[in-house]
Structure 1
Amino acid sequence: MTAVSLTPLTVTRWWLIRHAPVHNPDNVICGSSDREADTGNRAAAAALAASLPAEALWLTSPLRRSRQTAQALWTRNPRLADTAVVEPALAEQDFGDWEGISHDTAAMRDAEAAARFWRDPARHAPPGGESFAAVMERTAAALRRLTDSHAGRDLVAVIHAGTIRGALALALDLTPEAALRLRIDPWSLTRIDHHHTGTGSWSVGGVNQQAGTF
């Protein structure tokens, strides 16, 4: 019998973290708005930092709340300290003309645009902004590109609820409507892996995991 040589399976591991809560006392829309994060929850930061791999490529979005959260994690666990790569394609959804105002104010300014958006919030874009379906597309393209470029590595991405939903939609073949149902809390950890075999496949190890459950 001829021995068969098996090539070890290459797995790329994604550690997807939603940033710390945003300072938003007026409860306005702040998808692409560059607001600061409240990183004062030391227990959550410490628990999350302790769960992350030491040898990883770090990514953030261009938004301040993403970068501040990454810095807080490095502070809680210096072994993680690294220079993060800023990836524009992993930014939060852009709500265009609605950035910085409430949904009630948006409806008062343009009732027709608000009604059109809420009839199909997954696929309709706010005025001057982008739809969640578009966010899914750019997130999927970025994950495929980065997975191919860094095959076999751990990638820690400190990003946003919208882009984490987009990553899960890629892994689970979800529609935009289904992906919007996913709850992604601040300081939470979501794990997905890409298995480089055949045409490639994804698996999900955990969604919206909280401190104490990592």
Structure 2
Amino acid sequence: MTDRMTTRWWLIRHAPVPNPLGLIHGSGDPDADTGDRATAMALAAILPEDAVWLTSPLRRTRQTAQMLRPSVDPLTEPALAEQDFGRWEGLSHDEIAARQPEEAERFWRDPARNAPPGGESFAAVMERVADALRRWTGEEAGGDRIAVIHGGSIRASLALALDLTPGAALRLRVDHWSLTRLDCHAGTSWSVGGVNLRPGTFSGGGR
């Protein structure tokens, strides 16, 4: 049984977004492809029943949450949104390099700390996500929080738990439909129970 002062975070990256052209969809709002029912059912089977559900404001997270638990009405947390790529939203990396070579070169000198034009840096994402996790953990210590969010916001969450630099956090792989488990003990210290866990590798259960 989990200590009542331990808050368990179940971080799920949303279902994939069809993107044959490789366009950047950070703060963009395309639909997710939630058709992989077997994967969704395998993930849903290990999630706790009595939990607070959160999504970002973007529809791909809410669509994924509703696939996992049709009866759920998740709360929306804007601070858990994906990185905003500003004027690069909807473009491919090749288009950016061709149209804005100087801005692209500047960004890639330090992609964790530099912001795309009109957007935000990953370091800024880390700050807002950390604030959100602390706030939702502090609202009522203990219990489960299921957050269906994004690769960037999950990396930012791991950066908080592991004291990672922005550059180190960007190296983490976070697949669609994957589960990352964090525990916050007494509202101050963090432990990591698993990163990028895929259906078929889950152990234990929340039900």
Runs (4 or more) in structure 1 with deviation over 6 Å come to none
5 Å-filtered alignment, 1:77-156, equals 81-156=71-146
The total of aligned residue pairs comes to 200
2:72 and 2:35 map into 1 onto residues whose CA distance is 21
1:82 and 1:9 map into 2 onto residues whose CA distance is 23
- Return the offset for 1:37: 0.3
Name the TM-score, length of structure 1 as normaliser: 0.91
Q: Does the CA contact (< 8 Å) of 1:9 and 1:195 recur in 2? A: no
Partner of 1:78: none
2:174 and 2:42 map into 1 onto residues whose CA distance is 17
Q: Report Cα offsets for 1:186-211 as digits up to 9, x if no partner.
A: 000000000007xx200000000001
* Identical counterparts, % of pairs: 69
- Return the offset for 1:149: 0.3
> RMSD value over aligned CA atoms?
1.0
Q: Does the CA contact (< 8 Å) of 1:192 and 1:206 recur in 2? A: yes
Name the TM-score, length of structure 2 as normaliser: 0.94
1:61 and 1:152 map into 2 onto residues whose CA distance is 22
Larger radius of gyration: 1
Establish whether residue 209 from structure 1 lines up as the match of residue 200 from structure 2: no
Unaligned runs of 5+ in 1: 1-7, 76-80
Q: Does the CA contact (< 8 Å) of 2:14 and 2:150 recur in 1? A: yes
Unaligned runs of 5+ in 2: 203-207
- Return the offset for 1:89: 0.3
- Return the offset for 1:99: 0.3
Q: Does the CA contact (< 8 Å) of 1:14 and 1:191 recur in 2? A: yes
Q: Does the CA contact (< 8 Å) of 1:30 and 1:99 recur in 2? A: yes
